[in-house]
Every structure is written in C-alpha cells, then in structure tokens.
Amino acid sequence: MQALAFWKAVAMDRANFLEGLIGVLGEHNIRYCVIGGQGVNAYADPLVSLDLDLVVAVDQLKEVEKLLGERFHLEWFPHSLNVSAEGSQIRVQIQTDPRYFQFPERSSVREVLGLRLPVAAVEDVLDGKIWAVQDPERRASKRRKDLLDIERLIDAHPLLRVRIPAEILAQLA
C-alpha cells in the first residue's frame, strides 16, 4: 500500500479511482490482469507511469463495461476501453484486442502500484510490447517507450531475448 499512499499524497488520485476500480472488479469476480508498462514494472525495475493497462476475460467484457459505466467515465476506441474518473490523473485502459484475451488465465499475483494484482505472465507482457512496437498506427513516441520496456524486460530476464523478432533486436542495438 506504500505506492498507493504515495499516489494519493501527490494528488494523483484524489477520487480513489484506482481503489474503486480494483474493488469493483474484485467484488464481481472479474478475471483480469495487468499488462503494459505496469506489467513490465512488475517484472523489472519500475518506472513511474500514470497509466494502468488491463485485459479482462472476453466473456466478462460486457459486464465490466456495465459495472464501470455506473461509476466512471468510459470512452471506447478501436481496440480499447478507456476508464477515468473526475479528480484522478490515473488513466486505465482495458485492452480489447483479441490477442490479449488469454492473458488473464496465465496471470499470477504480483505487486503493482503497491497493490497485489493479477499480472500477465512475463512472456505475455513481452508479447504485448512486441505487438505495440510493431503497430504502425501507434505514435512514434509510444513505440520508443515500448522498445525501452522490452529492453527493461530482457535486462531483468535475459532468456526472453530469444522471443524478440530480429528487427526489434536491431532497434535495441
């Protein structure tokens, strides 16, 4: 809870948005896991971020939309559902790309933002970052951060290097 207290102390989450969102998911037995940069943070030296990327079990996605829509602001994008709350600078993005839908089944509980949350397997987190780097529609600045996240993962878990496509490894050299 230290990190969560830190976030509140620096006024990033005055609305208790993160606690509320995680509470709703837990209350309703929603199968989900953390991916993205916070997923990387669970396996490597953490970097500060106001983003929390999640994936929800596909059979519960409509239920999640209804539950979260009752308490928070929702905004749909082609492959994600963004969730926010007045008074919080934290941004939560629920990934809706079908490639991610099996991630919750392979997740395990790890510490993220001072909370014990289900986090995608390190291989799944890496795959998500590889997909993000390869997405030509993604902003160049975001793809550079994804490259850094891949580098952080292989620094912490060198055996993952064999999973990375040659063209991405060349960008890391």
Two structure tokens written together for 130: 């590889």
**Domain total in the chain:** 1
Range of the domain at 41: 2-172
* Alpha-carbon separation of residue 94 from 9, 60, 159 (angstroms): 26, 12, 28
CATH number at residue 97: 3.30.460.40
- Per-residue pLDDT of the chain (173 residues), as tens digits, is 455 554 444 446 666 888 899 999 999 999 999 999 999 999 999 888 888 999 999 999 999 999 999 999 999 998 999 999 988 888 899 999 999 999 999 999 999 888 899 999 999 999 999 999 999 999 999 999 999 999 999 999 999 999 999 999 999 98
Supply the pTM of this predicted model.
0.90
The SS3 call for residue 3 is helix
Give CB contacts under 8 A, 24+ apart, made by 44-48.
44/152, 44/153, 44/155, 44/156, 44/157, 45/152, 45/156, 47/152
- Angle between helix axes 61-69 and 17-27 (nearest 10 degrees) is 130
The closest alpha carbon to 93, from 118, 68, 111, belongs to: 68
